[in-house]
Structure 1
Amino acid sequence: MTNANNAGTSGSETQPEVVLDTVKVWDPFVRLFHWSLVGLFVFAYFTGDEWDNAHEWAGYAIAALVAVRVLWGIVGPRHARFSDFVYSPSTIITFLRDSVAMRAKRYIGHNPAGGAMVIGLIIAITAISATGYMMTMDSFWGEEWVEEAHEISVNGTLVLIIGHILGVALASIEHKENLVKSMITGLKRRN
């Protein structure tokens, strides 16, 4: 990707071309999954008590997205694979400590905290989907513990989402790159 910077020049006089060294990190499916999940989660959250049928269909769509994402985490391209971003607990803790000190190593794909967040969100959203589905079944209809488990899963997921947003903001500031933009374009700075 190149960007010619000719501001303030005239005629044939030009400044050197600035080359932005980027690398494709997030494939189209990962980006579509991410933003579709965001939209569907928000929709499901706000329709939960008001629009049961739409809420349920959003839940089914979310469950399908997560199932495909899990499969993509096994067979997808490098940075989509779990093997690229699942780290040991000690590596995650060290990374978080370094992040707070603003000296964390930069990763092209998911960093250790981001990888842990992906796994945490997949587990939490799976719990939401499972308990939501259980609430539609005759055998669990009206069971208070299922409804409570569903609400706890939703609230836990909201905590994870807030942590995810804060982590993205911190990493964007620390490494001077717009991670939200990279999840739209798929591109990140190479170095």
Structure 2
Amino acid sequence: MTEAGGAPRVKVWDRFVRTYHWSQAALIAASWLTADDWKWAHERLGYLLAALLAARIAWGFVGPRNARFASFVRPPSEVFSYLGDVRHGHARRYLGHNPAGGAMIVALMTVIAATLLTGWLQTTDIFWGSEAMAELHEGLAVLILVLVAVHLFGVIADSFRHRENLVRAMIDGYRRS
């Protein structure tokens, strides 16, 4: 496959990763919209999101190369080194996720899992009606939005930096080689 300018494109993200990405975004948005007035829908969306997250975690161990955690989860030293390179204007381009993108995936998955857990805990006898658990759940949900904003900023910045439409790549799975 080639771009309009003739540059070859390669498949980077498989259908499951792309479907997971956009489904997760839709479920989180729907969860926000149903949080106050439609608790029954909010709970069901949470269970769907939990199943989706569990499937993605499994896929991170058995999926194709670029879907595997081993291909994009890097130690903090490498993430900070990459961010320093970005700041100095000489960050290298990665075909898959760069170290900061990998760290964002881990952060989002962790905060989403914690949000799901605190939501579920509110349905248990021990935390039923717990104001502290409700506040923690809401705080984590807000943190998801903060991380999404940082993620979007990174995607836009990387798209400009490397002159490549990363949103399109997460839709069709292809990037410039």
The yes-or-no answer on 1:100 pairing with 2:82 is no
Moved more, 19-28 or 122-131: 19-28
Match of residue 151 from structure 1:
138
Query: Which residue of 165, 171, 174 maps to 1:184?
Result: 171
- CA RMSD in angstroms comes to 1.3
TM-score normalized by structure 2?
0.96
Taking only the aligned residue pairs, the percentage that are identical comes to 48
Runs of 4+ aligned structure 1 residues displaced above 6 Å come to: none
Match of residue 51 from structure 2:
64
Greater radius of gyration (CA):
1
Contiguous gaps of at least 5 residues in structure 2? none
Match of residue 37 from structure 2:
50
Match of residue 29 from structure 1:
16
The Cα of 1:2 is off from its aligned counterpart by 4.5
* Gap change, CA 1:124 and 1:3, over 3 Å in 2: closer
The Cα of 1:3 is off from its aligned counterpart by 6.7
Q: How many residues align?
A: 177
Tell me which amino acid in the other structure corresponds to 2:114. A
* Gap change, CA 1:3 and 1:150, over 3 Å in 2: closer
The Cα of 1:148 is off from its aligned counterpart by 1.4
Specify which structure has the bigger relative contact order, considering alpha-carbon pairs within 8 angstroms and separated by 6 or more residues.
2
Matches within 5 A, 1:104-119: 104-119=91-106
